[in-house]
Structures are given as structure tokens and as C-alpha cells.
Amino acid sequence: RMHAAVVAVARAPRISRLASVAAVSIRGGERARARATLNRAASSGPMAPIVELYARVDETLPADPASTPADESHFRAIAPYMNAVEPRHLAMEPPSTSRRSSEDSEDSARPAQGFFSQLLGRAKSSSSSRSPSRSRSRASGIDCVNLHDSHRFSMCVFRFNEEGTVIPLHNHPRMTVMSKLLYGSLRVRAFDWADDDDGNPGTAPNVPRLARMVRDERVAAPANAFALYPRSCGNIHMFTAVEPSAVLDILSPPYAIGCGRDCHYFEEVPFGPDGGRAPPGHAWLLEVDCPDDFEVERGEYHGPRFGSRSGR
């Protein structure tokens, strides 16, 4: 069943179906829309860095990333354009305090749309206790600013509005994700499956699975872009805000429920199926429901329009 990290989305499951329909309808016109966006930008002066990034991503990624995933060579071609993007290019700025203004809260009090509805995905039930992989309460405040949606890739910004907010441990099945910290600092904890079985993105019901730790460190802006791939570089990760932060993400292809790209959530548990502890540099991960207190609101975007937003 579909899980609701965003309560309003759970009450309107048609959103995920509409997102899938929209992705199909974009396929034929995506390149034409990209060209039109670039032509308009060129005629009006220097191109905004975020629009340059969109253009580079559009021309670089495979035509069908679901069958031919983006790899390190694609990321190397895109990374300099991600590194050039600053918060001001998106009409964003770090919050002056850890609390959002009442106006921002009012604008954001709507469910996240587009690709993020797919992140709500499927998760298997578990009765295990709370662990560091669990999220904090809704009051901690995360919002998602959607920049572009298509069947090939999505672009968005996750804003962590308070210290201690968490996107819980989750995976990206058969996906490549490129990330750039725009401001603030985050604790990144990431794993890959130790058995390297790409055909099984999750775990058997109530059976922990061994994962290899890839990353457990603090990342502070300014920082270079980084990437994860379907089977390497920390496909399973979680973010914890050390301070108010924002992350620009490019997902290729986006989450898609029913297409093998559902989002699975996990928590670390101390013992494996046979009662043994994980070896050094590893952890036992158990698939769980999307945490009840993990909610993401839709953030407003006031920056340059491009891609699927160019006609809005």
C-alpha cells in the first residue's frame, strides 16, 4: 500500500497516478520545451546558472535512464554546472532564524507535488523500535521546492528549516541522484547493500539485511556536488540538519510507484537474522513503514522558470 509521509497526499492518492500520466505526456515535448526555454533565455541576456544546469542535464542524461542509468561520466559533465548554482540563483536565502515566517508557513502548508509524491512509495511493516534512522516530529519542518518534472529526470530543493530535522533512511532503486548543498550543513549517513543484489531493493519482511557503510560525515556549504548510483556510492542514505540547510537534487529517473522505483524506508537494528552483530563498517538494515512523523510540505518557488515550469 502507499504510505503517507505527507498526510494530505495520503488522502488524495490520485496525485501519484496523475504524476505518472504527466510524465508520459512530457516525453514527446520535453526536448522541444528545453530548446524553447534556452532560446528565450539567450534572447534576454546571460542565462541564469540554474537554467544552464537544466540545459546541461537535459543534453547529458541518457534518453531512457530507466534502462540505461546515468553513471559517473554523466555526473562529471553535470557537476560543474551544479557547483555554479547558489541560493540567490533560485531566489532563496538561508533563514535568518531557525523558525519560518508565518507567511512562509502559510504558503508551504500544502502537500508536496510532482516527483515527491513518488517518494511516499511502498514500505513494509515492522514492529521494531525507534532508532537513529527515524525522523523527528512534523514540527521540525522540511519542505520541497519542485523545479522540474519529467520521465527522464526531476529537479528539486529540499529545505531543512530547523536544526535536527531529518529525512529518514531511504533508498533510490535503479536511480542516480546528484546532490548539491546550497547552504547550511548536514550529517550524511549512507549505505550500499553488502550482497550487491540490484534486483532486490528492500529486505524480506522482518528480516534484516547487511549493508556496507559508505559515508558518515558532516557536509557544510560551500561544498561540491556529489552523486549516488543504483548500486554504489551510498544509494541508501539519510540527511540530518546540523543547522538550517537546503539541498538541490537531480533524480534520474524519478521515483515511480509500480515501475520498480518505489521508495523504501529502513532503520538500523543491532542484530542480523541469525542474531549476530554486523562486522565493522557495516550495519543491519530493516525495512520499515514510512515514519508517521515524517512529513514534507510544498515550498514556493520564485526563481527562473524552465523545463516543466516554463509554461506556468
CA-closest candidate to residue 263, choices 301, 234, 286, 289? 289
Give the model's pLDDT for residue 258.
Answer: 84
Q: What is the mean pLDDT of residues 82-110?
A: 68
Single pTM value for the model:
0.77
Give the model's pLDDT for residue 47.
Answer: 76
For residue 5, give the DSSP letter: S
As a whole number of angstroms, the distance between CA 172 and CA 200 comes to 12
Query: In 3-state terms, what secondary structure has residue 252?
Result: strand
Q: What is the mean pLDDT of residues 42-48?
A: 59
* String of DSSP letters for 18-83: HHHHHHHHHTTTHHHHHHHHHHHHHHTSSPPHHHHHHHHHHHHS-S-TTTS---HHHHHHHHHHHH
Cross-strand bridge partners of residue 240 = 166, 187
